[in-house]
Amino acid sequence: MRNYAYNNKWKKLLTPEIVLLLTQIHEYKGEQALFVETKADTLTQLVEVAKIQSTEASNKIEGIYTSDERLKSIVANKTMPRTRNEQEIAGYRDVLATIHENYTYIPVKPSIILQLHRDLYKFSGKSIGGNYKVSENVIAEEDEAGNKRIRFQPVVSWETPGAIDTICAEFDEMISQTDVDPLLIIPMFVLDFLCIHPFNDGNGRMSRLLTLLLLYRAGYTVGKYISIEKLIEQTKETYYEALQNSSANWHEGENDYIPFVQYTLGVVLAAYREFSVRMKSMATNNMSKPERIKELIKNILGTITKTEIMKECPDISQITVQRALNDLVTSGEILKIGGGRYTAYMWNHNKEN
């Protein structure tokens, strides 16, 4: 069995790029704590929007969809799921809520991971929920011609329980050491979880839920207000590339954690930056509605739709949002991507240069 010890591996991660990311995240964490303390009553809307975006994005990565209207109703717990996709969406909603409300009391233990996985499938009735895989699985990819190839062979089924026991014990051991930054150990743990691939289904969604849980327990709660899952979904090609690069030679214990750690820290930093922008925008009473829309798009990583803008700015009418978008497209400050119901917008960074 592979050696899962983290005690010496984390020191290799202290590259200038990663140290800079850690420094910036620590600074934003302090700023967030101040915002939460002084403006707690204004954050409810951010929390509700993040729940919807997280549930949608994490399932969307796995090809699990429903309509926007049904998604909102399911996340708000106002309707029962009708389809298999909606059953899995409802399961994610409940596990996410469990983590949001009780993360302080949820230790990183194999029994907890199994319980969360069980709850992920509680609406579907699938027997795989809460059980490790009993047969071998592979991580495959398909090219444009439809040809499939095995990208990674996870841990065999009979070794899986022991592997999960070991990474949980190693994680606890490292987190108890005061000289180790948990922001380094968390993505290392998540990468190992994905390489073990302990379940027949739901490994990707579980990895994102565990990422939130571990971040929250370490004091990095930005995912409650800004959807980390959405940021991953918007950069999923980079996510898969980092995962592939860091999993190479994993079984031999010679893999490089740096790509996946750096990617994860970049997403966390992006979430903190977005949170900071939102809070400062709320605090700027003199900013006009079009200026608020402009600032929102400028600070979003990737694209944003008109519907998402209206979710973020519920006090701005649809007419005002559309007029502001038209003006920003005309001026070249934002780019319009797609058309019809698939229209999205993104900040034109080339305009700044």
For the chain, give percent helix, strand, coil, nearest 5: 65, 5, 30
Q: For position 339, what pLDDT does the model report?
A: 87
CB 269 within 8 A of CB 24: yes
Give the pLDDT of residue 35. Answer: 78
Same domain, 72 and 203: yes
Looking at the domain assignment, is residue 144 inside a domain? yes
Position 34 in a domain:
yes
- State pLDDT tens for residues 218-228: 999 999 999 99
Q: What is the pLDDT of residue 234?
A: 93
| pLDDT per residue as tens digits for the range 40-56 | 666 887 888 899 999 99
Instruction: Output the pTM of the full model.
Output: 0.81
DSSP 321-337: HHHHHHHHHHHTSEEEE
Own/partner pairs, 249-256, CB within 8 angstroms, 24+ separation: 250/2, 250/152, 250/195, 251/2, 251/153, 253/2, 253/3
Q: Which residues pair with 148 in a beta bridge?
A: 142
Same domain, 44 and 155: yes
User: Does residue 3 form part of some domain?
Assistant: no
- Report phi then psi at 238, rounded to 5: -65, -35
Residue 341 confidence (pLDDT): 83
Query: Are 91 and 160 found together in one domain?
Result: yes
Per-residue pLDDT, 51: 94
For residues 259 and 244, what is the distance between their CA atoms, to the nearest angstrom?
Answer: 9
CATH of residue 21's domain is 1.10.3290.10
Of 225, 247, 281, the domain-final residue? 281
Let me know if residue 1 belongs to a domain.
no
Mark whether 48 and 156 lie in a shared domain.
Answer: yes
The structure tokens listed for 141 are 């990819």
Distances (CA, A) of 158 to 1, 48, 155, 198, 206: 11, 41, 8, 10, 20
- Say if residue 185 is in the same domain as residue 330: no
Domain of 330? 288-352
Residue 313 pLDDT grade (very low, low, confident, very high; cuts 50, 70, 90): confident
Determine what percent of the chain is predicted with pLDDT higher than 70: 95
What is the mean pLDDT of the segment spanning 16-38?
89
